[in-house]
Amino acid sequence: MAYSEKDKTRVKKLFIQSYELNKTVSRAVKAVKGLSRSYFYQLVEEDPQFKQDYNDIRIGIGEDLEASAFQLVEKMVQNEDYSKPVLLITLLNANLPDKYRNNDAQSDDAKTIVSELRKMAAKKSKSMKEAEEILDNDSK
């Protein structure tokens, strides 16, 4: 189906609004009548401004997710709950990749920190299991 320039402009505007609200391309496309995923990508390739607007929102969504992840890690640290260190390790990998990504050139400091986080998680997990067993035995 061929779209007029007016229709293209309308569809792009509606997509941008929908993407800001829905946070994923698939949900945003579904919310815009007459827009398919393939046509969306065609518009991205044809219109540099639309591509820039889309990328700006995409980066903003990623930064919002990153901020939420940091808040969760801060709560983990405050509560000394290292039972699930994956988020913390992922953020270290993302923000300091040269230091924390698993590779042969990984610094000894980074290896030590990751190792200590894993030990803390295992220790916390073991302590929680022991506490649960004590509580279970007391309630019987």
63 and 8 share a domain? yes
Question: What does each C-alpha distance from 114 to 27, 71, 106, 134, 137 come to in angstroms?
Answer: 37, 20, 11, 30, 35
Per-residue pLDDT, averaged over 31-60, amounts to 95
Whether residues 59 and 10 share a domain: the answer is yes
Q: Which domain holds residue 22?
A: 1-67
pTM: 0.62
Are 84 and 63 members of one domain?
no
Helix (H, G, I), strand (E, B) or coil at 82: coil
CA angle, residues 75, 77, 81, in degrees to nearest 5: 90
**What letter would DSSP give residue 3?**
-
Instruction: Give φ, ψ of 24 to 5 degrees.
Output: -135, 150
CB 19 within 8 A of CB 54: yes
Q: How many residues does the chain have?
A: 140
What pLDDT sits at residue 23? 93
Q: Residue 91: its pLDDT value, please?
A: 78
**Number of other residues whose CB lies within 10 A of the CB of residue 50:** 20
Statement to judge: residues 86 and 32 lie in one domain: no
What's the pLDDT score for residue 84? 75
Q: Which two tokens stand for residue 5?
A: 């320039």
| Residue 90 confidence class, pLDDT cut points 50, 70, 90 | confident
**Together in a domain, 112 and 90:** yes
pLDDT of residue 138 exceeding 80 = no
- Say how many domains are in the chain: 2
